[in-house]
Amino acid sequence: MAWKTDKFHKRLAESEIGTIRKPWKGRIKVALVYPNTYHVGMSNLGFQSVYYLLNEMEHVVCERGFLPDNKKPGAERIITIESGSPISAFDVIAFSVSFENDFPNLLTIIEKARLPLRSNDRDPPHPLIIAGGVAFFLNPEPVATFVDCFLIGEAEAILPRFFDTALPELLNQDRTSCLKTLACNVPGAYVPAFYTVTYHSDGTFRTFEPKCDVPVKIERPFLKDLSQTPTCSTILTPDTTFDRTFLIEVGRGCPHGCRFCSTGFVYRPPRFRPLSLLQTCLQHGVSMTDQIGLVGAAVSDHPEIHKLCDQKFEKNIRISFSSLRADALSPQLLSVLRESKVKTATIAPEAGSQRMRNIINKGISEEDILTAAETLVAQGIPNLKLYFMVGLPLETMDDVEAIVTLCKQIKHRFLKSSRARKRIGEITVSLSSFVPKPFTPFQWLAMDDMGSLKKKIKTVKQGLKRVANVRVHADVPRWAYIQALLARGDRKVVQILSLAHKNRGNWPKTFKESPINPDFYVLRERSLDEDLPWDFIDHGINKSFLKQEYQRALQGKTSPPCPMESCTICGVCKESVRNKE
């Protein structure tokens, strides 16, 4: 297609390797939109993989759109990278959303596309607006009014059937018929308009009921076997965090079951790709670039990660890892880091005291952390980044001060190892506020209030202020509060989100004007027998298992990792167990 776009968008496309362009005629036209800027969206492997999957379908053409950077020309326009067409000209606008704090951007993009905000105000020829991504695996209700259909499940398991089903209905231009067909025939397709929610007099969630003959529960489709399905970068561009790094997803899910982390629960069971497939992906990546990034929640847990690291290449290849546990730094991994000239390695203790690490089921000891820090620096990696959270359940100020103590101990080991190499780097301490998430054992807990979070952050900053070569970065508790509101809200939160949009993102003004008290969602502890707004989503996990993990956390007890084979512990593998019997 001919370019119809501005110089900024054209420059982006021309800097890319792997852009897909297909003719529109006779195909469903999909605008895949990331509700953030190009730089952020193109750093997301999930977004890139959906782009590839859609364009692999013969009857679909997919182009990308992003939230405009207000500093760039044409910031009021939402046009695609490939052809410069307005997203309103497409049959489908598909949002890929990873983070709750991007929810407000959905409204901004819909408005900039000059479309009605609410689903029930849109009719043909308006595009069908669908949305997927891990944020909606957890809870789509705060934006339910704005989206026609959510796809709750892994893209590879849901997209082909969705578009095979949608094609004839879209051609008929009957929106209600199309949505009804999708809701009834595509596992994971959730159409909010077909469900009614009610509330108790105290404001708590009461019922979630179908208005018509659609599924009562939305079951998440997922790929049971990753051995035939590679997930890699589709497009390489310098305009991302990774700067022409070819990303390869090693596996999905995490066996360790950290109680604050939704990834360890909604992606159960944990699955790893076979070595042979990863080697093929590596060879493909090496043909395009000299920078490879291995991605996953538990990269170092891959049973054959050592063999993958032992790969030999004709040219110097730099390999980086998205996550490495402090207790899993094998000689092979360290060798790859050293040969790849990695300048900064990340360790995530999450908490300063062993008591807190037991509560969150982190599964690493203080000695694991200290040894990892010392070993990394000894291997020639000069800088360390440490991730901690404040506001965790049952946390005391002693636990917060333990973060300072642990950082000083790490600095001591770091300094000792650095001096031996005659080079002293930096330690960056990253503090984030704990946000309770759906489908985790902590989903019932209240979030710490902003005053307490600010005090805890200040304690860590003050405690490390005079420690040389240590910098502390902390998130803003107010934004964590908003994230908690959007993560655990019900459909009434739509009103708050709409008001925030009207106020152009002025949240203090929004909270003052809102008839709904946001503290009800953020600072209120739920009872274990309360019905939750997201209970209609079925990830296969027994709620009783999450309650058991919640109780074990309160008792300071740890739980073993997922055995990664058919068992009856959490409920996800119950079908496999029945088949074996």
pLDDT in tens, 136-175: 999 999 999 999 999 999 999 999 999 998 877 666 667 8
Residue-averaged pLDDT of the chain: 92
Is the pLDDT at 205 greater than 50? The verdict is yes
Stated as kind and residue range, the H or E segment containing 429 is: strand 427-433
Instruction: Please tell me the predicted confidence (pLDDT) of residue 332.
Output: 82
What are the C-alpha distances in Å from 283 to residues 42, 232, 280, 300, 456?
22, 12, 5, 20, 47
**Is pLDDT of 7 > 60?**
yes
pLDDT score, position 310: 80
Q: Per 3-state DSSP, what percentage of the chain is helix, strand, and coil (rounded to 5)?
A: 40, 15, 45
Which SS3 state, helix, strand or coil, does residue 529 take?
coil
Place of tokens 């290849």: 317
11 φ, ψ (degrees, to nearest 5)? -60, -40
Nearest to 309 by CA among 320, 322, 323: 320
Say if CB 124 and CB 173 are below 8 A apart.
yes
Tens of pLDDT, residue by residue over 526-556, are: 999 999 999 999 999 999 999 999 999 999 9
Q: Residue 74's pLDDT is what?
A: 53
Supply 100's token pair. 């709750």
What are the pLDDT digits (tens) for 223-247?
Answer: 999 999 999 999 999 988 888 899 9
- CA end-to-end distance (rounded Å), the chain: 56
Reduce the DSSP state of residue 508 to 3 states and report it: helix
Confidence at residue 489, expressed as pLDDT on a 0 to 100 scale:
97
CA distance 86 to 492: 31
User: Are 208 and 258 within 8 A, CB to CB?
Assistant: no
Nearest to 148 by CA among 173, 118, 177: 118
Beta-ladder partners of 249: 295
Question: Do 18 and 236 meet the contact criterion of CB atoms below 8 Å apart?
Answer: yes
Q: CB–CB of 399/356 below 8 Å? A: yes
% of the chain beyond a pLDDT of 90 = 77
Please name the residues in contact with 121: beta carbons below 8 A apart, sequence gap of 6 or more: none
CA distance 384 to 345: 5
Identify residue 576 by its one-letter amino acid code.
S
Report the C-alpha gap between 249 and 46 in whole angstroms.
9
* β-pair type (218-219, 291-295): unpaired
Q: Alpha-carbon distance 437 to 432, whole Å?
A: 14
pLDDT band at 565, cuts 50/70/90?
confident
pLDDT above 70 coverage of the chain, percent = 94
d(CA 137, CA 80): 26
Segment among 193-197, 382-386, 433-437 with least mean pLDDT = 382-386
- What are the tokens at 85? 């067409």
Q: Which amino acid is at 106?
A: L
pTM over 0.85? The answer is yes
Strands 271-272 and 205-210: unpaired
397 φ, ψ to 5°? -65, -25
Higher pLDDT, 363 or 124: 363
Please tell me whether residue 374 adopts helix, strand or coil conformation.
helix
- Distance of alpha carbon 98 from the chain centroid: 4
Does pLDDT of 5 surpass 60? no
Q: What value does the mean pLDDT take over residues 81-97?
A: 96
CA angle 293, 299, 301 (to 5 degrees): 160
The yes-or-no verdict on residue 578 having pLDDT over 60 is: no
CA distance 65 to 62: 10
Helix (H) or strand (E) segment spanning residue 279 = helix 275-286
Mean pLDDT across 1-11: 59
Residues 438-470 have pLDDT tens digits of 999 999 999 999 999 999 999 999 999 999 999
Q: What was the pLDDT predicted at 173?
A: 66
29 φ, ψ (degrees, to nearest 5): -95, 120
pLDDT score of 2: 40
Helix (H) and strand (E) counts for the chain?
21, 19
Contact 531, 334 (CB under 8 A): no
- The SS3 of residue 403 is helix
Burial class (CB in 10 A: 0-12, 13-18, 19+), 454: middle
Pairing of strands 92-96, 28-34: parallel
SS3 at position 463: helix
Task: Give the Å distances, CA to CA, from 418 to 79, 404, 422.
Answer: 50, 20, 6
Write the secondary structure of 132-182 as one string of H (helix), E (strand) and C (coil). Answer: ECHHHHHCCHHHCCCCCEEECCCHHHHHHHHHHHHHHHHHHCCHHHHHHHH
Residue 360 confidence (pLDDT): 98
Task: List the single range of 131-145, 387-401, 408-422 with lowest mean pLDDT.
Answer: 408-422
Weakest-pLDDT range from 172-176, 254-258, 347-351: 172-176
